[in-house]
Amino acid sequence: MLSRKLSPLIILVCSIVLFGCTEEDASKYKWTLQSHAVKTSIDYIELEKMTDNIRLMSNGRLDITPKSAGEIVGGPSIFDAVSERKIEMGNGWPNWWSGQHPAWAVMNAGPFDFMNLDASMMFFLADEGTSLANELSAPKGIIWRPAWWPGMEFGLLSKEPIRSLEDLREKRVRIGPGLPSEVLAEASGAFTIPLVPSEIRPALENNNLDAVEWTTTAGAWNLGLQDFSSHAIVPAIWQPSVLADFLINQSAYAELPEDLQAILETAIKSYTLTTTLMAKKEDVAALKQFKENGTQFNRWSDEDLIRWRQASDKILEIYKNRDPFSKRLIEKKQFFKREYNKYYEVFGAYE
């Protein structure tokens, strides 16, 4: 006859069977996510919501603390911090990692790249883009994921009017590193300076910059650039379909149980869609704010566009000849763009 008292071992076994609770499942994982973004930006606000949702969906088992621009590390240093596991996750821009490998400079949108953010989203989410990016990041112990798409950037903001590429000759221009800055320098003869967000506004205010590129209309407005610039020249030829990215330390990711990995991946995809669409809506509103604030707009001339194209073709050839991976990446993006354009020749806008 069985004793009415159950042994502690039997109780533990029954608990596991009934509730599926294991020691690994009960473990808690605390991560830090260093972002490039300032606290007031839509992408950082949505990042806080994403980490809150991860905490909620995992019942507190995966606790990710986001850090705004520069709190732990900033700019290109985010990549090494993730690689060395000083932080478990990072959020930045692919061209910021060009010091790690030249192909990162062409991973992001370059001049005359994908002209629509949906083409870039398709390439990275449904075609080979993410796989190609992980070929570059894996040797450094990093998992790569697209974060969100600002789409077409704003343009150049300045105190004095810029009406042409010639007006930029020997001017000091803040622009992100890699392909965009190299093409701008080649086309205009400007000096390009890759300042991080916290440095941009003071440099513009103190006349240490003549013009500033900083993401989209909403991004520029949230950074307060309208306070020190009353002129803009558009469009942002250097990055028509720019994307941000997430970097995840491989070892930290591998330590997560499968359900937490799935929660993280799902939350990232939700962040990608939500932030892309919400940010674009904010861009529409921010453009109106710039106009109401008195910003004067100029556009590149047809002659300037020819110079932009020539400079872009020249720099891309340099990248193609620099290493086999860059050549393969450029050619795959160009092939995808051609196929995309062929489709929209039939199914494009009719008004």
pLDDT in tens, 174-203: 998 888 899 999 999 999 998 988 899 999
Confidence of residue 72 (pLDDT cuts 50, 70, 90): very high
Distance from C-alpha of 162 to C-alpha of 288, rounded to nearest angstrom: 20
Q: Is 133 within the bounds of a domain?
A: yes
Instruction: Let me know whether 257 and 303 are in one domain.
Output: no
User: What is the pLDDT, as a whole number, of residue 116?
Assistant: 87
Q: Is 169 exposed, middle or buried (0-12, 13-18, 19+ CB in 10 A)?
A: exposed
Confidence of residue 215 (pLDDT cuts 50, 70, 90): confident
Instruction: Let me know whether 198 and 120 are in one domain.
Output: no
Tell me what the mean pLDDT of segment 52-73 comes to. Answer: 97
Q: Is 146 within the bounds of a domain?
A: yes
Under DSSP, the state recorded for 227 is G
In which element (H, E) is residue 19 found? helix 8-19
Instruction: Let me know whether 191 and 43 are in one domain.
Output: no
Q: Is 5 within the bounds of a domain?
A: no
pLDDT digits (tens, 9 = 90+) for 93-119: 998 999 999 999 999 888 999 988 999
Q: Is 335 within the bounds of a domain?
A: no
Write the single-letter amino acid at 231. H
Q: Is 280 helix (H, G, I), strand (E, B) or coil?
A: helix
Nearest-5° Cα angle at 52, 51 to 54 = 60
Q: Is 174 within the bounds of a domain?
A: yes
Instruction: Let me know whether 133 and 200 are in one domain.
Output: no
Distance from C-alpha of 307 to C-alpha of 151, rounded to nearest angstrom: 23
Domain boundary among the residues 258, 282, 306 is at 282
C-beta of residue 151 within 8 angstroms of C-beta of residue 280: yes
Q: Is 128 within the bounds of a domain?
A: yes
Q: Is 155 exposed, middle or buried (0-12, 13-18, 19+ CB in 10 A)?
A: buried
Does 341 score more than 80 pLDDT? yes
User: What is the pLDDT, as a whole number, of residue 26?
Assistant: 64
Instruction: Let me know whether 140 and 271 are in one domain.
Output: yes
Instruction: Let me know whether 85 and 169 are in one domain.
Output: no
Q: Is 336 within the bounds of a domain?
A: no
pTM of the model: 0.86
Which CATH number is 62's domain given?
3.40.190.170
**How many angstroms separate the Cα of 127 from the Cα of each of 145, 260, 261, 333?**
13, 25, 22, 10
Quick one: residue 178, left, alpha or beta (phi over 0 = left, psi -120 to 50 = alpha)?
left
Instruction: Let me know whether 182 and 309 are in one domain.
Output: yes
Domain boundary among the residues 260, 282, 304 is at 282
How many domains, in total, are found in the chain?
Answer: 2
Instruction: Let me know whether 185 and 317 are in one domain.
Output: yes
Confidence of residue 6 (pLDDT cuts 50, 70, 90): very low
pLDDT digits (tens, 9 = 90+) for 16-53: 334 444 544 569 999 999 999 989 889 999 999 999 99
Q: Could you tell me the residue range of the domain that residue 105 belongs to?
A: 28-150+242-282
Lowest mean pLDDT among 207-221, 245-259, 296-310: 207-221
Which CATH number is 217's domain given?
3.40.190.10
What is the residue-averaged pLDDT of the chain? 91
Q: Is 253 within the bounds of a domain?
A: yes
Instruction: Let me know whether 122 and 205 are in one domain.
Output: no
Instruction: Let me know whether 86 and 177 are in one domain.
Output: no
Instruction: Let me know whether 32 and 133 are in one domain.
Output: yes
Distance from C-alpha of 144 to C-alpha of 89, rounded to nearest angstrom: 10
Instruction: Let me know whether 213 and 308 are in one domain.
Output: yes
Radius of gyration (Cα) for the chain, nearest Å?
23
- How is 171-223 classified by DSSP, letter by letter? -EEE--TTHHHHHHHHHH-PEEE---HHHHHHHHHTTS-SEE--SSHHHHHHT
Does 7 score more than 90 pLDDT? no
